[in-house]
Structure 1
Amino acid sequence: MVDTASTSGLYILLISVHGLIRGQDLELGRDADTGGQTKYVVELAKALSRQEGVERVDLVTRLVVDEAISPDYKAPVEKLSENLQIVRIKAGPDEYIPKEQLWPHMDSFADHLYTWLSEQSRLPDVIHTHYADAGYVGVRLANLTGLPLVHTGHSLGRDKYRRLLAVGMGIEQIEQRYHMQARISAEEDTLSCAELVITSTRNEIESQYELYDYYTPEKMAVIPPGTDLEQFHPPIEGQPAESRAFQNTLNLFLRDPAKPMILALSRPDERKNIVSLLEAYGQTKSLQELANLVIVAGNRDDIRELNDGAQSVLTELLWVIDVYELYGKVALPKHHSAENVPEIYRLAAASRGVFVNPALTEPFGLTLLEAAASGLPLVATENGGPVDIIGNCRNGLLVDPLSREAIADALLSILQKPARWQEFSSNGLRNIARFYSWEAHAKAYLAMVQPLVSKRKPLTQVPSTHQFSSYRNRALFTALDNTLLGDAEALEQFAKVVRTHRRQFLFGIATGRRLDSVLTILKRNSIPTPDVLITSLGTEIYYTSELFADIAWSYHIDHSWTPQVLRRALESLPGLSPQPKNEQSRFKVSYFYDAQIAPPLDEILGLLRQQELSVNATLSFGQYLDIVPARASKGQALRYVASQYNIPLDRTLVTGGSGGDADMLRGNTLGVVVANRHQEELSNLSENEQVYFANGAHAWGILEAIRHYGFF
């Protein structure tokens, strides 16, 4: 991998995996995944690319090839300016799928992106991930490259989980629908790895991030996003009227379209709580007499063709309109375009209306900025970003989103008092320009990021003193215990295959054992000498037969490794007893694990995160707990070696049989799980399209996989 560290300008890599991202005409509100985050990352990328000292900005997202959506999303590269591009990377199936279904494909996305980065003329100076799925990818890239990781959560799983429970959703239902455990685990790992966490509001830090085990406020910075003040501005007297296309649409719904407009603009998502807003309006006759309610909730041709969540919300809106007989008072237009949005805000402002965001929680609320920049007073949820926005701008009221009475009262208190309406409108226009411009955001961002880049210590690769035939373009790595070992006859057959094809591939062993133990086993069992030994759970790499140690790898994984602190944190836990000294090493702390009395692994990880310890912990064969540095694991070491030799991961056959092998098998490697009594530790890999579960046990399973993949 080429790495010419920044000698000129900054190279910033932004990652935002899900949703539909393109440079222009964002399909905001199309579904739950195409909302404020997609607009934020595109605007951030554009703002950063315009800054002095920034050489290159790449915004990486998922490649989507789907006839049901625009062909824009299947372009591998979309150039937006001389130094800005959107890069699309394959992850999972070609078609567009919800973010909750993407989790099994994130390792593949990370591997594809790592390969793409390896082909660039230089590495980025910083990786900035957006949302938990990108965070998962960013952790893997940062651990492999040593690049500083910056993260923005946008919304957080623990907070969402808490709120879903509060509205009556069951634990099993939440997990089935949202894959919440995978998301929260990814968020914890991201917080552990990130050197800087950027939030939009102080409230986000204090009420959402504090729910996490790895809660470090000193690593968090508030940088409010901006809004485009050229696009979003108030109605201008004397200027020709804008296109009346949307006004004509509203006229089809409203009996008296000249009345003030209460405007809500969001996705048709239950978390946006627009049904409660409609009920508040329906229950308040004085509000109906005073104003119309306009709900712009995405686009639809046929409600029956939408996803279940959107279908449910829109159907309920129609029911509520019917129950309260709100015909002629409520508009629920079927279509609007991105170009219509500024016009919609200005129509509401010209009517002396109010913008309302009644979401159960709102991580930030870009629509609040757009509405305020258009001259609209605000009524917004008291949960999340609106607290800071209205606190800074003094242009509206905060309400309890679960109280329909509070929503109605706040709207009335603005609509019934022209002086208050004018005060809020003027305050918003003045303070949006002061606090929320993209130019200010980009400058604050670069000031925060520059120190991280300056202290960066990249993974340097020492010149190889070991030889490797250039025509070997594939590799086979296997775990040792209960994978390669366990059946003498199978092992003998495997050894014959290795010797027969030795010139065709690189042969490696990846094990939790120490080097001396591995060498003894190789000799005792007449196993052909590997080209590479990854030992002590990926903390040591040796190139045989000279046993040349990779010192660069040792230096790389030493980052934030404090074994003495680690041992003190675990010494009082029941069910853990240190393994003998010959099973420990400089970068591996190992315990016997008694499942009858020891805490579950998740609880142990939570304890370590609370102590701000960034590590990898694996439980193998149900009884061995091994803890290594965050940058070390069998899978990370294997990817480092494959990169050294320029061997594609999709030509790297990897076999394992216990939990410690999981990250070798995920992603783009040709994975195989051999049949043994511990294979259930890897059962969650069954969702991975590129993991083969062999019928054969031990080395028979490896031989079966060689045939299955047509490896030779």
Structure 2
Amino acid sequence: MHIGFLNPQGNFDSNNSHITKHPDFGGQLIYVKQLAIAIAQMGHKVDILTRQIIDPEWPEFAEVIDTYPGIDNVRIIRLPAGPKEFLPKELLWPHLVADWVPNILKFYQEQGGLPDGMTAHYGDGGLCGVLIQEETGIPFTFTAHSLGAQKMDKLEVTSENLTEIDEQFNFRYRILAERLSMNRSAINITSTRQERFEQYSHRVYSGAVDVNDDNRFTVIPPGADFSIFGAKARSENEEATQWFIQERLARDIAETRRDLPVIVASSRLELKKNILGLVQAFAMSPTLQERANLMLITGGLDNPLQEEASDGMTEEVLAPIRKVVEENDLWGKVSAFGLSNQSQESLAAAYRFLVKRRSVFALTAVYEPFGLAPLEAAVAGLPVVATKNGGPSESLQQGDEEYGVLVDPEDPADIARGLERLLCDAQEWEYFAQAGQQRVLKNYTWESTAENYLTLLEQISSSPEASPRAELLPIHPYFRNPESQTDVFLEELSDLYFGSNQKVLINVA
């Protein structure tokens, strides 16, 4: 079978370059790469379709065709969409319609044949799946990863600030593209049942898809890469990573505290990751400060607690964290840095090193759609404290069985309680280290994820109209011709989000 992955945002290359450099990168790239490789290793041909970038700051993304070393049957195909330089995902919409989709069709025409089926990722990939299907009849699955409506909720969009917020995030296109994607896809793939019933049931998606229709949804959780994160795996830079961490601890942690366990968090510096809540929990607990240090692995910045970030949004995250550290005199107890080699292999080596100190992994995001990071930490041997909001409530708990400690991310006292539970009781630490690891090894493998995707893709490519669906939504003229009038998009978004009976003033520039 020949499968195309539609993933215009972020980018892919053989070395996983810039994996944490920009919000458009990160976890969803790892998801697509690992899934593509797992499918290819089952003997199928896979193309990861993404955007070509010709920019001195992003030299890895210029070649049209790339491969992963030692992996057969996977191609990274980069095709132009708009200007040559890197563009954030919010600015890609007109270029996907005008350039990227036509370039995909032209590429396959020159190759002599189209894929048998497509799997589209995020709303922008989903929109492209809709347009390609309309042109060629090729069916597609839609994996949203996260939906725009929840982001609008978190940004506290109101009728007064809608126009201003939309200027930055272009929800006017994202929401309507997501509606089209979930409506026109052969099936919608979610990582958890909670994602299906909570995210897709948001009022802005009403009429696009019925969340209670089992023919339109399937849950396929992603996997952890045991060859990288496994407790017995080893990377080429295993020892170098250990030495690097020891050097950073020597730089940041008081000498008498350097052998203590650590509470480790690893994420991009974004408000939604709620690193501040973790720092506040540490600050308010004398017990935690007595028993452990706090370690923040933060991506590109080498010393984020001491140096200002050039990026305003990153600085917005760091400034309140520094304030908590300063006001609670946490200097000498907190270390923050980016790994010298920002790769999954380095992160896995860091986890294995921290297991020896009986450390704990923490993910305190306000909401985490799935939460692959805690599963990767768990399979390395770290017990996990994670947000109860989102995927971890399914992956780390089943009935009364606990595989990690779930906490309320908006309650620092509850975060502290969860951390104390593991750090103050050796038996609890041992139980959750073992239980979490076994849970992941048994239930969260990329092979299983690939098998489930393949079953669906083979099904829809042989019988593309097998699944009954709601009435098809029309494709707005803008999604056919980006030069058409777009004011109506903001009006439609307002009606969907606030309700058509509420009068909203739309200020269109």
TM normalised by structure 2 equals 0.86
1:324 aligns with 2:328: yes
Deviation at 1:173, TM superposition (A): 4.0
Q: Does the 8 A contact of 2:130 with 2:184 survive in 1? A: yes
Q: Which residue of 1 aligns with 2:223?
A: 226
Give the aligned residue type for 2:347: V
Distance across 2 between alignment mates of 1:28 and 1:117: 28
Distance across 1 between alignment mates of 2:164 and 2:96: 23
Structure 2 counterparts to residues 526-541 of structure 1, below 5 A? none
Deviation by residue 1:551-572 (Cα, 9 ceiling, x = unmatched):
xxxxxxxx99xxxxxxxxxxxx
Q: Secondary structure at the match of 1:231?
A: helix
Q: Which residue of 2 aligns with 1:146?
A: 137
Larger relative CO (CA 8 A, sep 6+): 1 or 2?
2
Deviation at 1:305, TM superposition (A): 5.7
Structure 2 counterparts to residues 301-700 of structure 1, below 5 A? 306-336=310-340, 337-338=342-343, 339-391=345-397, 394-456=402-464, 612-616=470-474, 662=478, 665-666=481-482, 681=485
Distance across 2 between alignment mates of 1:34 and 1:615: 30
Deviation by residue 1:239-291 (Cα, 9 ceiling, x = unmatched):
x9833222222221112121111010000011111112111211222211111
Q: Does the 8 A contact of 1:265 with 1:296 survive in 2? A: yes
Deviation at 1:319, TM superposition (A): 2.6
Distance across 1 between alignment mates of 2:143 and 2:108: 21
- Residues 346 and 182 of structure 1, relative CA distance in 2, 3 Å threshold: same
Deviation at 1:166, TM superposition (A): 8.2
Q: Which residue of 2 aligns with 1:105?
A: 95
Q: Which residue of 2 aligns with 1:276?
A: 277
Bigger radius of gyration:
1
1:180 aligns with 2:171: yes
Deviation at 1:682, TM superposition (A): 5.6
Distance across 2 between alignment mates of 1:132 and 1:283: 40
Q: Which residue of 2 aligns with 1:61?
A: 50
- Residues 683 and 160 of structure 1, relative CA distance in 2, 3 Å threshold: closer
Deviation by residue 1:428-474 (Cα, 9 ceiling, x = unmatched):
121211101111111122122221111148xxxxxxxxxxxxxxxxx
Distance across 1 between alignment mates of 2:139 and 2:156: 35
Deviation at 1:229, TM superposition (A): 0.9
1:72 aligns with 2:60: yes
Q: Does the 8 A contact of 2:226 with 2:233 survive in 1? A: no
Q: Does the 8 A contact of 1:401 with 1:407 survive in 2? A: yes
Q: Secondary structure at the match of 1:119?
A: helix
Distance across 2 between alignment mates of 1:321 and 1:168: 37
Q: Which residue of 2 aligns with 1:88?
A: 78
Of all paired residues, the percent bearing the same amino acid is: 31
Q: Secondary structure at the match of 2:229?
A: coil
Q: Secondary structure at the match of 1:258?
A: coil
Q: Does the 8 A contact of 1:36 with 1:365 survive in 2? A: no
- Residues 299 and 383 of structure 1, relative CA distance in 2, 3 Å threshold: same
Q: Which residue of 1 aligns with 2:297?
A: 296
Deviation at 1:295, TM superposition (A): 0.6
The number of equivalent residue pairs is: 466
Q: Does the 8 A contact of 1:235 with 1:349 survive in 2? A: no
Q: Does the 8 A contact of 2:52 with 2:84 survive in 1? A: yes
Structure 2 residue ranges without an equivalent (≥5): 490-509
Distance across 1 between alignment mates of 2:224 and 2:23: 21
Deviation by residue 1:347-404 (Cα, 9 ceiling, x = unmatched):
2221111111111111111211110101111111112111111025832111121111
Q: Secondary structure at the match of 1:352?
A: coil
Q: Which residue of 2 aligns with 1:707?
A: none
The one of 109, 112, 123 equivalent to 2:114 is 123
Give the aligned residue type for 2:222: P
Q: Does the 8 A contact of 2:221 with 2:449 survive in 1? A: yes
Deviation at 1:307, TM superposition (A): 2.8
Deviation by residue 1:574-603 (Cα, 9 ceiling, x = unmatched):
xxxxxxxxxxxxxxxxxxxxxxxxxxxxxx
Q: Secondary structure at the match of 2:247?
A: helix
Q: Does the 8 A contact of 1:277 with 1:407 survive in 2? A: yes
Q: Secondary structure at the match of 2:87?
A: coil
Q: Does the 8 A contact of 2:41 with 2:72 survive in 1? A: no
Deviation at 1:420, TM superposition (A): 0.9
Runs of 4+ in structure 1 deviating by more than 6 angstroms, as ranges, are 166-169
Q: Does the 8 A contact of 2:96 with 2:128 survive in 1? A: yes
Q: Does the 8 A contact of 1:246 with 1:340 survive in 2? A: no
Q: Does the 8 A contact of 1:126 with 1:147 survive in 2? A: yes
Deviation at 1:683, TM superposition (A): 6.5
Name the one with the larger strand percent: 1
Distance across 2 between alignment mates of 1:318 and 1:222: 40
Structure 1 residue ranges without an equivalent (≥5): 1-9, 458-558, 561-610, 619-659, 674-680, 686-712
Distance across 2 between alignment mates of 1:197 and 1:612: 13
Give the aligned residue type for 1:359: A
Q: Does the 8 A contact of 2:229 with 2:376 survive in 1? A: yes
Q: Does the 8 A contact of 2:227 with 2:233 survive in 1? A: no
Q: Secondary structure at the match of 2:223?
A: coil
